[in-house]
């Protein structure tokens, strides 16, 4: 049975564990290779963990977002790969809490249920990037080690929902090799809607 506590309970639970959290500096990322992987699929988790350890990351694996709350309150990682499942509590809440505890953490949300709503919520919560499953480990490593945020995901905390949606569509469009049909299938939108958004100016 999965836990389904409300979001405000997450905040209360976090405060009860630790009240004196101190955000980490950006330059800590260079030396700190701690990586948290939160994934309920054992095979996927093991595959990602082995690949990231081979790249020199110090990997910790946790099955549920609820259990991960305890971990990040004691030791917020420099990097995180977080599985998002709409039917289970915690993915987006975990990203938000991690972003609050350590704003410089590069948290990447991975999901097999890719849609604009979860993309918007993830990026607004503080995710560094948002990727559909299955995830290519080499591509994931490139994102984790990139010198800066992907070009179409700048300053999510200051963007409107419309801007996040616009940038999400352009991001998926690039990932699909600029193929409109593939982009429409991945986002579960019509080709006409995708084409309209691609030709629109970016909203503020």
For the segment 173-190, what is each residue's pLDDT rounded down to a tens digit? 877 788 899 888 877 788
Tell the burial category of 151 from Cβ atoms under 10 Å away from its Cβ (0-12, 13-18, 19+): exposed
* CA atoms of 31 and 80, how far apart (whole Å): 15
Enumerate residue ranges in the chain where pLDDT < 50: 1-28, 151-156
- Do 92 and 173 share a domain, yes or no? no
Tell me whether residue 1 is in a domain: no
Q: What is the CATH number of the domain that holds 189?
A: 1.10.10
For the segment 38-70, what is each residue's pLDDT rounded down to a tens digit? 998 899 899 999 999 999 999 999 998 889 999
Tell me whether residue 168 is in a domain: yes
Burial 62-99 (b: 16+ CB within 10 A, else e): bebbbebbebbbeebbbbbbbbbbeeebbbbbbbbbbb
- Do 163 and 74 share a domain, yes or no? no
- Do 85 and 183 share a domain, yes or no? no
- Do 79 and 133 share a domain, yes or no? yes
Range of the domain at 14: 7-153
- β pairing state of 58-62 and 34-38: parallel
Given a contact cutoff of 8 angstroms between Cβ atoms, the answer to whether 49 and 73 are in contact is no
The count of domains in the chain is 2
- Do 35 and 117 share a domain, yes or no? yes
What pLDDT sits at residue 150? 52
- Do 181 and 139 share a domain, yes or no? no
What pLDDT sits at residue 170? 77
Q: Can you name the residues that pair with 27 across neighbouring β-strands?
A: none
């Amino acid at each position: 049975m999965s836990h389904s506590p409300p979001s405000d309970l997450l905040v209360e639970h976090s405060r009860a564990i630790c009240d004196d959290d101190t955000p980490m500096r950006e330059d800590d990322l260079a030396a700190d290779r701690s990586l948290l992987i939160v994934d309920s699929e054992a095979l996927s988790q093991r595959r990602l963990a082995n690949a990231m350890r081979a790249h020199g990351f110090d990997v910790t694996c946790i099955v549920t977002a609820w259990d991960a709350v305890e971990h990040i309150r004691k030791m917020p990682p420099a990097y995180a790969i977080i599985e998002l499942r709409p039917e289970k509590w915690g993915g987006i809440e975990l990203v938000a809490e991690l972003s609050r505890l350590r704003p410089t953490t590069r948290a990447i949300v991975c999901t097999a249920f890719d849609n604009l709503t979860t993309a918007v919520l993830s990026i607004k919560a503080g995710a560094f990037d948002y990727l559909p499953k299955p995830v290519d480990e080499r591509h994931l490593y490139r994102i984790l080690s990139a010198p800066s945020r992907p070009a179409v995901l700048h300053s999510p905390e200051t963007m409107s929902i419309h801007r996040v949606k616009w940038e999400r569509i352009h991001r998926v469009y690039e990932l699909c090799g600029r193929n409109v049909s593939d982009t429409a299938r991945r986002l579960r939108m019509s080709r006409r809607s995708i084409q309209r958004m691609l030709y629109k100016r970016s909203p503020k």
